[in-house]
Copies of this chain bind each other. A is one copy, B any other.
Amino acid sequence: MISKLITEIRKKNAPVSVGLDPSLSNIPKKIIDSAIAEHGETFEAAGAAILEYNKAIVDAVYDLVPAVKVQIAMYEQFNIPGLMAFTETVNYCRQKGLIVIGDVKRGDIGSTSVAYAKAHIGKVQIGSASLPVFDEDFCTVNPYLGSDGIRPFIDECNTNDRGIFVLVKTSNPSSGEFQDRVLQDEDSTLYETVGFKVKKWARESMDGKYSNIGAVVGATYPKMGRILRRIMPESYILVPGYGAQGGVGSDVKPFFNDDGLGAIVNSSRGIIAAYKNEKYSKYTEDGYADAARAAVTDMIEDITGIF
């Protein structure tokens, strides 16, 4: 699957993903009001509003970017109808030829991680039928439980040609609380130690020069990105935290290899709520999809400009 992502990144010259992480407060009032008029103040209304908003954004940007990152928490908060909107968003993006990264951050003990791995990048068996479930191309995974929590995901990567990004150094302010601690035996930090594990796991699912086993490293920590880039030479890095969280183009340079590959930078609010940004205010609320397209264009220019 990583070779497919690389092909699409090259074709569009855009190592960029758009984060479809909708919150109702970012969706134009007109869409919310119309969904509530039809469905009442219900989860169904939230699901319908999210789906309409997402589709217009996808229509406006799908020719520019190789991938979307879909943050399941923003859907899960609206119960079953929210998760139906998640599924429909995943399917819609795939129909448009986009690669879908499910930002699900799952992770559990081995026997339970099997269920999560099947749910997101695998298939489950019911009687004689083998059915894909949420059917993302990649998903994000939490490493706190160690190898036996990760291995079922690696197995699904190999069985179904999928990929994962393991959380290594997250973009949030308090990520250092545990991740930056120095381990006594290693004289290296926890995030580096997780990075070394990712390097090892990566060898178990190679797909060309790169591996299906990647890592999440926040744009907000460029120095650590440089270190981790060296530790995990065969892993793609999914880089959140660009844009609304503060990262800019020059911050993400260390996440790339010299071949211009090795990283994909995500922006969520900076794209999907661009219409709220002074810079794109001329598009107005009604033009939120055009504003998203303009913001994607600027982001691609910013990031490809670093090479």
Contact = CB atoms under 8 A, between A and B. Distances in A.
A159 interface: no
Contacts of A145: 167, 170, 172, 174-175
A149 interface: yes
A131 B177 contact: no
A contact residues, range: 35 or more
A294 to B, nearest CB: 24
Interface in A57-115: 71, 73-74, 76-80, 83-84, 87, 105-110, 112-113, 115
Contacts of A112: 21, 71, 73-74
A227 interface: no
Contacts of A109: 170-172, 175
B73 A115 contact: yes
Contacts of A71: 108, 112
A50 to B, nearest CB: 11
Contacts of A129: 41-42
A190 interface: yes
Contacts of A73: 106, 108, 112-113, 115-116, 119
A301 to B, nearest CB: 26
Given A148-B174, A190-B190, 5 more contacts: A24-B125, A41-B129, A73-B106, A80-B84, A184-B187
15 contacts: A23-B115, A36-B126, A42-B129, A43-B133, A45-B126, A46-B124, A73-B106, A79-B134, A144-B144, A144-B179, A147-B177, A149-B172, A181-B184, A181-B185, A181-B186
